Amino acid sequence: MTVARPLDGRRALVTGASSGIGEATAIALARAGAAVAVGYSAHRDRADTLVDALRADHSVKAVAVGADLSDAAAAGAMVDQTIAALGGIDIVVNNAGITRDNLAVRLGDEDWDAVIAVDLTAAFHVCRAALRPMLRQRFGRIVNVSSVSGVIGNPGQANYSAAKAGLIGLTKSLAREVGSRDITVNAVAPGFIETEMTRSLSGAVRAAAVAAIPKGRLGTAAEVASAIAFLVLPESAYITGHVLHVDGGLAA
């Protein structure tokens, strides 16, 4: 007997899905039955590999959609590609992000602009494009991936922290704008997570990070993905404008 999955019939776009938290989120949504558009910027090969895995392992429709998210038109077009490929859009996870770390006094304008463009402005463009069909269909679920850095700040990450804090403001404003149409907009704020980004940290920096985390370890991409999936399930329909911390207690 076929068992219904909670996201059967839903169509999702996950940006930055070719690795890390985005990849784990695409898997979590597919496991729950959603068709998934795997958003990528530079790694088409990884996106295609993930698409094949989603189809084979979870029997869902999956496609790869590429865009340079620093380009406003391309970010919005990613939503159009998703709709064309999947027949609509019900769920958006804005996960794509970059870092260009440096102390503020040494931070170049180009590094500030690049991080704001990808980590914040692109999410706005994706949200704006996705909200149009969501408003018409009177349903939608948006999750923006912020960071503990956007909540408590982090030395050497003025640009990244500002972008991630901006995502929280965007999330709360949109939640108030569209809540009456059964569209929820939430955020997750991961702490130190085992990804390619954190694996590049020096041993000393990693040890200091672990020492500051009450749980005493880094989190996993799958743990963040589970939180994201929770926020788009039918049981979470009354949660909106919320920032769910997945940080092992770092910002407690």
Query: Between the CA of residue 101 and those of 114, 154, 170, what are the distances in Å?
Result: 11, 10, 23
Long-range contacts, stretch 22-26, CB < 8 angstroms, 24+ apart: 22/93, 22/95, 22/96, 23/50, 23/221, 24/220, 24/221, 24/222, 24/224, 24/225, 25/93, 25/95, 25/224, 25/225, 25/228, 25/229, 26/50, 26/54, 26/62
What pLDDT digit, counting tens, does each position of 223-236 carry? 999 999 999 999 99
For position 30, what pLDDT does the model report?
98
Q: 58 falls in which pLDDT band (50, 70, 90)?
A: very high
For position 38, what pLDDT does the model report?
98
For position 202, what pLDDT does the model report?
78
What pLDDT digit, counting tens, does each position of 95-115 carry? 999 999 999 999 999 999 999
What pLDDT digit, counting tens, does each position of 40-51 carry? 998 999 999 999
Q: Return the percentage of the chain with pLDDT > 70, whole number.
A: 99
Contact of 145 with 187, CB cutoff 8 Å? yes
Residues 6+ apart with CB under 8 A from 166: 116, 120, 150
Long-range contacts, stretch 130-135, CB < 8 angstroms, 24+ apart: 130/13, 130/79, 130/89, 130/92, 131/174, 131/178, 131/183, 133/83, 133/88, 133/89, 134/89, 134/90, 134/178, 134/181, 134/183, 135/178, 135/181, 135/183
CATH superfamily of 11-191+224-245: NAD(P)-binding Rossmann-like Domain (3.40.50.720)
For position 2, what pLDDT does the model report?
59
What pLDDT digit, counting tens, does each position of 168-221 carry? 999 999 999 999 999 999 999 999 999 877 777 778 888 988 999 999 999 999
Run of H or E including 134: helix 122-137
What pLDDT digit, counting tens, does each position of 120-147 carry? 999 999 999 999 999 999 999 999 999 9
Contact of 185 with 171, CB cutoff 8 Å? yes
Catalytic residue list contains 160? yes
Mean pLDDT of 157-169: 98
Q: Considering Cα of 197, then 203, then 204, then 210, what sign does the dihedral take?
A: positive
pTM summary value: 0.95
Is residue 117 predicted with pLDDT exceeding 90? yes
- How far apart (Å, rounded) are the C-alpha atoms in residues 232 and 34? 11
Name the catalytic one among 12, 160, 170, 232. 160
Where do the domains of the chain lie?
11-191+224-245
Average per-residue pLDDT for the chain = 95
Run of H or E including 193: strand 193-194
Locus of tokens 């999947």 = 86
